[in-house]
Structure formats: C-alpha cells, structure tokens
C-alpha cells in the first residue's frame, strides 16, 4: 500500500528543506531547488509514482551530500569544485535543454538538446551537397542520428528511450545509470567525429558548385524544420555551409569534453544493426 497524499506532501516539504539546507552549507549549484521543482512538476505531469520519485531524489541528495561532507572544511577545494562546475554549466548552457525524464541528469539533457538540434536543423543540408557514393555514407549517418538523437513525435529518440528504461529500473545502482549515460555520450561523440571527418573529406575534394549560394528547392523537408534550416544557411555557399557545420559539431564535442571519443571504422549505426 502506497503512502497517503498527506505523507507525500510531508516528504516533499522535508526534501525541499534539505535542498535549501545543503545549498547553504555546500553549493547552491549542486543542490538547486529550482531544478528539483522542475523535475517534480514533470513527474506530476507524467503521472509518475511520486513515492518512487521522492525516494530516488532523497537517495541522490544524500549521495551528493556524502561526497561533499568530508570536504566541507576544505574551502579552497570547494571553491575550485564550484568554479569547475560553473565553467562547465556556462559551456553547455547555450544549448537547448530537453528534459526527457525527471531523473535525467542536467548534462545529458543539454547534450540531447544539442545533438537533436544539430541532427534536425543542420545535418539535412548535406543532402544538397553530397554526391555519388558518399550519399550512402550520409544515409548511414542520418540513420544513426535518428537512433541517437531525433525525437519521434512527442517521444524521445530510441536510444534515449533505452536510457529512460535504465533510469526507472527498480533499485538500479547509480553506477549503472552513469555507465549508460556515458555510453550514450560516447556513441554520440563517435557520430559527431564521423560527421566532422566527412565534412573534411568533402572540403578536401572540392567542387565548383559549392562556390555558389545554396538553394533549397531540393531540400525535401516540410514545416518548421525546413524554415529553420533555410534561416540557418541562407546566404551561405556550399563551402560556407560545410564550414559552419564543422564548427558547430566541433563546438559540441569541445563543450561536452568528448574530444577523446574518436573512432575510425564502423559507425554507431553499423554496430547496432
């Protein structure tokens, strides 16, 4: 038998008090009450089991508290940690946040927003530029984006759906959640590096047609996404479009510190088939 509504409200009040207390004692960036309220609101909208949500939040809160508890007297170290966190947040804050589940971490929510935006609003323009045998490679990359990053209507991508299954698994150890989160970041980093490699190959091959301004008649996409793509690339030549895409992909890789995840050979799409 679940807890009553009154007991739920009492637990939520205690949880809010803990957030406020820990924010004052440790770091308001790590113990952010606003983020908690957003996760709670999302949980209510999705009609999640609030008892499970509260227990997960309490467990996570105590783990973070333990991490900082032994260091509370080391002010210089705490300040350094806060500075690093703040720098990381500033780097990724410019990307759209897609909070696909109340228990999803801040970094993966921002990364999913970043790679989804790239997949939907930038990558398709390559169909206007790539010719010949390289179109098959482009198709494979596009399929990988669909699996990793492209929302399916109101649902997240298939790979993010798989991560949600890990998040909601009963009594799942935090290390398992972290392992799957890191695996998602790694798979996506491989993909972004492959896009950069393709762009570098195209730029090295050269084509006189790419010196002309882009036209969008053959961009077979409808609705708002097409308008966004046209706005992003309007006035650019083919070379300009490819250089901009390369810069954006590299910026995502650098901002999320994924430079080490570069792999030659098969794509993530080929590995999952």
**What pLDDT, in 10s, does the model give residues 86-136?**
666 778 899 999 999 999 988 999 999 999 999 999 999 999 999 999 999
φ, ψ of residue 115 in degrees (nearest 5) = -75, -30
pLDDT at 1 over 60: no
- 8 A C-beta contact, residue 177 and residue 187: no
Structure tokens at 145: 């984006």
Q: Is the pLDDT of residue 74 over 70?
A: no
CA atoms within 13 A on the CB side of 145: 24
Q: What is the pLDDT of residue 86?
A: 66
What's the rounded mean pLDDT across residues 251-259?
A: 91
3-class SS of residue 122: coil
| Tens digits of residue pLDDT in 219-249 | 888 789 999 999 999 999 999 999 999 999 9
Intra-chain end-to-end CA distance of the chain, in Å: 43
**Predicted pLDDT of residue 235:** 93
Residue 5 has pLDDT above 90, yes or no: no
263 near 210, Cβ under 8 Å? no
Say which residue the tokens 């479009």 belong to: 241
pLDDT mean across residues, the chain: 86
d(CA 144, CA 138): 10
Q: Which pLDDT value is given to residue 91?
A: 83
Distance (Å, whole) CA 129 – CA 229: 14
d(CA 220, CA 124): 9
pLDDT at 78 > cutoff 80? no
User: In the predicted model, is pLDDT for residue 56 greater than 50?
Assistant: yes
Residue 272 has pLDDT above 70, yes or no: no
Q: How much is the pTM?
A: 0.67
pLDDT of residue 87: 67
CA torsion sign for 124, 129, 135, 141 is negative
Q: What is the pLDDT of residue 50?
A: 84
**Which pLDDT belongs to residue 81?**
52
Confidence of residue 267 (pLDDT cuts 50, 70, 90): very low
Residue 198 — pLDDT band, cuts 50, 70, 90? very high
Greatest Cα-to-Cα distance within the chain, rounded to the nearest angstrom: 71
Copy the structure tokens of residue 70: 């032994």
């Amino acid at each position: 038998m679940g807890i009553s509504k009154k007991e739920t409200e009492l637990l939520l009040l205690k949880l809010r008090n803990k957030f406020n207390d820990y924010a004052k004692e440790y770091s308001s960036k790590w113990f952010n009450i606003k983020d908690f309220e957003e996760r709670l609101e999302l949980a209510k909208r999705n009609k999640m089991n609030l008892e499970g949500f509260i227990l997960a939040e309490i467990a996570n809160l105590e783990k973070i508290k333990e991490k900082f508890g032994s260091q509370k007297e080391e002010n210089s170290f705490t300040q350094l940690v806060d500075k690093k966190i703040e720098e990381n947040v500033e780097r990724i804050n410019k990307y759209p946040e897609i909070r696909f589940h109340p228990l999803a971490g801040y970094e993966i929510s921002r990364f999913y927003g970043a790679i989804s935006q790239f997949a939907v609003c930038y990558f398709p323009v390559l169909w206007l530029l790539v010719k010949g045998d390289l179109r098959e490679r482009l198709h494979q990359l596009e399929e990988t984006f669909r699996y990793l990053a492209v929302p399916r209507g109101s649902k997240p991508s298939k790979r993010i759906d798989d991560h949600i299954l890990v998040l909601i698994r009963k009594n799942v150890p935090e290390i398992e959640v972290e392992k799957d989160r890191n695996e998602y970041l790694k798979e996506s980093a491989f993909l972004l590096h492959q896009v950069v490699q393709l762009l570098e190959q195209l730029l090295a091959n050269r084509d006189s047609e790419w010196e002309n301004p882009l036209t969008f008649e053959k961009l077979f996409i409808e609705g708002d996404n097409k308008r966004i793509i046209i706005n992003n690339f309007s006035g650019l030549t083919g070379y300009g479009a490819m250089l901009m895409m390369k810069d954006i992909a590299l910026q995502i890789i650098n901002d999320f510190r994924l430079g080490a995840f570069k792999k030659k050979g098969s794509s993530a799409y080929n590995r999952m088939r």
